[in-house]
Amino acid sequence: MNWKNSIFTLLLFTLLLSLTGCKKKTNVLSEDPVGLPPFEEIGAFEQNVLLGRGVNFGNALEGENEGDMGMVIQEEYFTLIKQAGFQSLRVPISWGYHALPVYPSTIDLTFFSRIDWVIENAIRAELNAVINCHHIDVLDADPLGNKMWFVEIWRQIADRYKDYPNSVIFEIKNEPHDQFNADNWDEVYKAVLDVIRETNPTRNVVIGPINWNSFSSMNTLDLPENDQHLIATFHYYNPFQFTHQGATGWVEGSGDWLGTTWGNLQSHYARVISDFESVADWAEAENRPVYMGEFGAYEQADMASRVLWTDHVARTAESFDFSWAYWEFGAGFGIYDRNAGEWREELLGALIPEE
């Protein structure tokens, strides 16, 4: 082989290797990978009705590795959830653990494939799926310093799922707190929303306020008037000393709250109604649908109180046309006993009462 042929062969090999490498690194799915229905535009209010009654897949994908927090998602869970009467799943996902810690924030393809599997199983089970960004501590600690890193994470997510059906809903970030305030949260979420809209111009997106998505901070949320494919969200764990009693692994002093009951005073019920009225007033003024993305009482509370609280919170939310997702399926707040392979019927009945 002469030197010209050698150079040509080397260049051709280099080109092929480069193309192969690009193919391996891309985060874009092949066309129609699982025969999913096409995306069709749906209004935010209609979407919120379809979210209806939901549950969180908590303590699974928001850990550094699935299973670190005690739960691994199994295929049969999707059918169980659908058959129990739920309409949607909220899937907390800690993308930050699986992305490069610096720009361009490349997300690991193996992790992406696992999320594909979760979303596609939800679709097959005819469940709406809300996928979010959960537990991104570096962003909460320095919102503006990590803004572009976070934006690039969402650029990849939005591009990967742009052709998925409208039953897949994006939630920009779970519970902004720490160094987030109303102004810098506004700047960060709008930068992300702009990137999402490049590939998903009419997909519905969930956005909540600062202070851990507190209902009392809804009036700090400034949603762009020209985007009507937005659903506002809040989380509800009041009274905290009841819902988090005994949660000593992450709530300091919660062991002192053990024995706190709920439901024996009329003021308990009135407080929930009052809190939700304030959200409903905001929603009416802003003409936005509302999704209560988390609520639940930890397993250390007595079951009778948990059932009363859960039923009242769920029914009150429904009376204001809020969709909701209980926290959570099968861990410390769980309605499903994974070890026994059965529902905790009292809690399930509080969420999905017999008609």
In a domain, 184, yes or no: yes
The predicted-structure confidence for 24-61, as pLDDT tens digits, reads as follows: 333 444 344 558 899 999 999 999 999 999 999 999 99
Segments forming the whole domain that contains residue 320? 35-351
Question: Counting beta carbons within 10 angstroms of the beta carbon of residue 63, is it exposed (0 to 12), middle (13 to 18) or buried (19 or more)?
Answer: middle
CATH classification at residue 302? 3.20.20.80
- Residue range 301-315: mean pLDDT, rounded: 98
Tokens of 254: 């919660």
Give pLDDT, residue 4: 35
Please, what sign has the CA dihedral across residues 66, 70, 76, 79?
negative
Distance between CA atoms of residues 287 and 5, nearest Å: 69
The answer to whether residues 100 and 58 touch, using CB atoms and an 8 Å cutoff, is no
In a domain, 39, yes or no: yes
In a domain, 9, yes or no: no
In a domain, 337, yes or no: yes
Catalytic residues: 175, 294
In a domain, 6, yes or no: no
In a domain, 338, yes or no: yes
In a domain, 330, yes or no: yes
Give pLDDT, residue 274: 98
Phi, psi of 228 (to 5 degrees): -100, 15
**Number of independent structural domains in the chain:** 1
Question: Counting beta carbons within 10 angstroms of the beta carbon of residue 73, is it exposed (0 to 12), middle (13 to 18) or buried (19 or more)?
Answer: buried
Percent of the chain with pLDDT over 70: 90
Residue 2: band (very low, low, confident or very high) from pLDDT cuts 50, 70, 90: very low
The predicted-structure confidence for 90-104, as pLDDT tens digits, reads as follows: 999 999 999 999 999
pLDDT reading at 259 higher than 50: yes
In a domain, 15, yes or no: no
pLDDT reading at 169 higher than 90: yes
Entry pTM? 0.90
Give pLDDT, residue 128: 98
Give pLDDT, residue 34: 58
